[in-house]
Amino acid sequence: MKHLLSIEALSAQDITDMVNLGVELKKHRNQTPKVLDGQVWALIFNKSSTRTRVSFEVGIRELGGDVIFLSGADSQIGRGEPVKDTARVLGRMVHGAVIRTYAQSDVEEFAEFSKLPTINALTDEEHPCQILADLQLMKERLGGWKGKKVCFLGDGDCNVAKSWMWAAARLGFELTIGAPKEFQPPQTFMDKLGVDNVKLFDDPSQAVDGADVVYTDVWVSMGKEEESAGRIQTMQPYQINPGLMQHAAPGAIVMHCLPAYRGKEITAEVLEEHAEVIFSEAENRLHAQKAVILWMLGHTSLLG
């Protein structure tokens, strides 16, 4: 049984298969195979969501299935029931699970005890679905990632940045992380990553230099709200603005996993200039989620 628990756990072929399938599904949305006909999937979300929830609900229905949504307040997990107990119950009732929560270990434990195909829809460690949608956007707009440079600016130790680093490790493209020293991943993580095509910079212009993709995320992730004032002040030099974009490659695209806070991690001017790309990136969440599910069920194309 396949799961999507992290980018780290995937091979280059796995990633490429899902991205290619996402591209295919987007081109032929009206041909989505009803592989989930008669199935009910559970969405278990302990963190708020717009794009992730909508894309999975629509995607599962387009694949022929039905969805039951459980927030932390709706389930006994919110009252302290062990994840493995909830998993063993749902494993007898539903056909798959999509989990958005805090601890990576919770998603892994759920997959182990539920015996269901399980998708990590975001944890504090990784956001694999987002990166698959982002890579799909790179394939559509830049022809792929081979020979390209991606620059991530802001909190270099957040879940999105870590998933980008694992993607670079698996696929071999150049990735720079532009972040204050205190918001860079620890050396233990870099040692585990074990590659030389991912580099850390505390100088944002040096990080952006020659980048084909300039990427950012919110500076205050869910669960970090008490650090808001300090984070915003420290990361101000890493804002994507017209001046910083002058260091990027000609024709560089800007990406943002949203929601965007104009005037903080990105200026309104830059966001609106690149809005078509950014909202196409958001649209890709739908096609990427469907591709993940098809891949988990053994499909690598609409015909396979």
Residue pLDDT, tens place only, 243-266:
999 999 999 999 999 999 999 999
What integer pLDDT is reported at residue 75 of this predicted model?
A: 73
- Per-residue pLDDT tens for 164-189? 999 999 999 999 999 999 999 999 99
What integer pLDDT is reported at residue 73 of this predicted model?
A: 74
What integer pLDDT is reported at residue 303 of this predicted model?
A: 57
Q: What average pLDDT does the segment 148-159 reach? A: 98
What integer pLDDT is reported at residue 279 of this predicted model?
A: 98
**Amino acid of residue 285:** R
18 sits in which H/E element: helix 12-27
- How is the chain split into domains, by residue range? 3-127+285-297, 130-282
Q: Using CB atoms within 10 Å of the CB of residue 34, give its burial: 0 to 12 exposed, 13 to 18 middle, 19+ buried.
A: exposed
- Ranges 74-83, 117-126, 279-288: which has the least confidence: 74-83
What integer pLDDT is reported at residue 220 of this predicted model?
A: 79
Q: Which residues are catalytic?
A: 100, 127, 130, 217, 257, 285
What integer pLDDT is reported at residue 304 of this predicted model?
A: 56
Binding-site residue numbers are 49-52, 76, 100, 127-130, 159, 217, 221-222, 257-258, 285
Domain 3-127+285-297 and domain 130-282, same fold? Reply is yes
Of the pLDDT bands very low, low, confident and very high (cuts 50, 70, 90), residue 108 is very high
Q: For residue 157, how far is the Cα from the chain centroid?
A: 14
Distance between CA atoms of 22 and 292, rounded to whole angstroms?
Answer: 8
Residues sharing a CB contact under 8 Å with residue 73, sequence separation 6 or more, in sequence order: none
Helix extents (H) in 115-264: 128-142, 159-171, 187-193, 204-208, 228-235, 242-245
Binding-site residue numbers for carbamoyl phosphate are 49-52, 76, 100, 127-130, 257-258, 285
Residue 80 has pLDDT above 90, yes or no: no
* Residue 223 or 229, more confident: 229
- Sheet order of strands, 66-71 included: 66-71, 40-45, 96-100, 118-120
Indicate the angle between helix axes 104-114 and 83-90, nearest 10 degrees: 40
Residue 154 has pLDDT above 90, yes or no: yes
CATH class of 130-282: alpha beta
Residue 229 has pLDDT above 70, yes or no: yes
Q: Of the candidates 161, 145, 129, which has an alpha carbon nearest to the alpha carbon of residue 281?
A: 129
Binding-site residue numbers for L-ornithine are 159, 217, 221-222
Helix extents (H) in 67-171: 83-90, 104-114, 128-142, 159-171
Which CATH code for domain 3-127+285-297?
3.40.50.1370
Cβ proximity of 266 and 278 under 8 Å: no
